[in-house]
Structure 1
């Protein structure tokens, strides 16, 4: 007589920084797990790569990545919700922002128009928390033409009524280090070029502690 051995199958679902895009958790499930829903707008940027990689290692964070060309996102997107859309495509932008807890903005181009679209979408969907990357030097006189879009982005975000953190980083490096100092708006911008990894680490700190640096406009650089 053949001996029958019962087969027990144990399925373990592992969730890291993102949840599977094809099996995206429902809003109720995300709420039950107290997961933070974070959208990265401008996900194909060089700084965004580091932010995505870092946020994927933050517990209970679900990432949505928005890029004009998803093929240019330079990191592993497995498990992330990926949205291919232009920031100026308002219906798609609004749909992507709806239901998020935190909006992380990492863009280049017509930043004033983009910022206005993002602010409008956040206001209409009642999403309050935004972290936006601007640039060092935007409050110097005379203002360099290349920095005008970054100043306009900061102005739009500051006057939006949202819970914002604006970051004004120094020039980026690819150094494998986390070493940064911050300065408040109005203080002299000190320090030197900062690693993308450092900025990403600071962004992750705010994501984990959304009340931290709320309604602050910060310079960030590597200390001298």
Structure 2
């Protein structure tokens, strides 16, 4: 199985790489600056490119089974549109898309107000628009909406579905990477679902570490 990782230098993407290093998969690592990738494994290849470039994404999709998008930026909606177009043209279906909490106004209470204060004004709106592009596409998607991220060396998470109130305030990047890896290893899990991920017992008006 071949996995295309878009935004392969991201912290979560790097953890996914580590978790898949001993698996019987091959990884195609796509990022804007290929020199940032170190310690390339035997099961890995690196492609330099921009996610808004249709030709670059189309080339990167050759022989790919699953796309895992770990992207960011003010142009995230344009990236989503280009990826959907390229995958549809190439007849590729399965995508795992990292988004953020709050795109459906699903975060309740004081934490929800704080989250809006922190993310409104360009971030939350663009991520919501990008998620809508993915959800209304013909792709077989899983959208993952993490709580505020930590670098804790732990795997401890719970999930919520779209339409449910978001739980907790934080989650480790390692937990998110574990969920991504579980889906890659079991591609029929969470198909056409948007799921929130948080660490249990972290409710509050803001992340405890903030």
TM-score range (shorter-chain normalised) is 0.7 to 0.9
Q: Which residue in 2 is equivalent to 1:62?
A: 26
Structure 2: gaps spanning 5 or more residues: 107-112, 202-210
Alpha-carbon distance between aligned partners in 2 of 1:198 and 1:70, rounded to the nearest angstrom: 26
Q: Is the 8 Å Cα contact of residues 99 and 127 (structure 1) preserved in structure 2? A: no
Between structure 1 and structure 2, the one with the greater Rg is 1
Counterpart contact for 1:99–1:125, Cα < 8 Å: no
TM-score by length of 1: 0.80
How far does residue 148 in structure 1 lie from its aligned partner after superposition? 1.2
Name the CA distance, whole Å, in 1 between partners of 2:39 and 2:189.
28
Which blocks of at least 5 consecutive residues in structure 1 are unaligned? 1-35
Find the counterpart in structure 2 of residue 176 from structure 1: 153
- TM-aligned CA deviation for residue 51 of structure 1: 1.6
Q: What residue is the counterpart of 1:31 in the other structure? A: none
Residues 1:155 and 2:118 are matched in the alignment:
no
SS of structure 2 residue aligned to 1:204 = helix
Whether 1:49 aligns to 2:26 is: no
The structure showing larger relative contact order (alpha-carbon pairs under 8 Å, at least 6 residues apart) is: 2
* Alignment: residue pair count: 187
SS of residue matched to 1:82: strand
CA distance in 2, matches of 1:197, 1:86: 26
2:55 maps to 1:91:
yes
Structure 1 Cα separation of the partners of residues 175 and 19 of structure 2 = 10
3-state secondary structure, aligned to 1:50: helix
Question: How many angstroms does 1:72 deviate by?
Answer: 2.1
Residue 3 of structure 2 corresponds to which residue in structure 1? 38
Deviation digits for residues 80-99 of structure 1, max 9, x if unmatched? 11001111221111110122
Q: CA deviation at 1:136?
A: 0.5
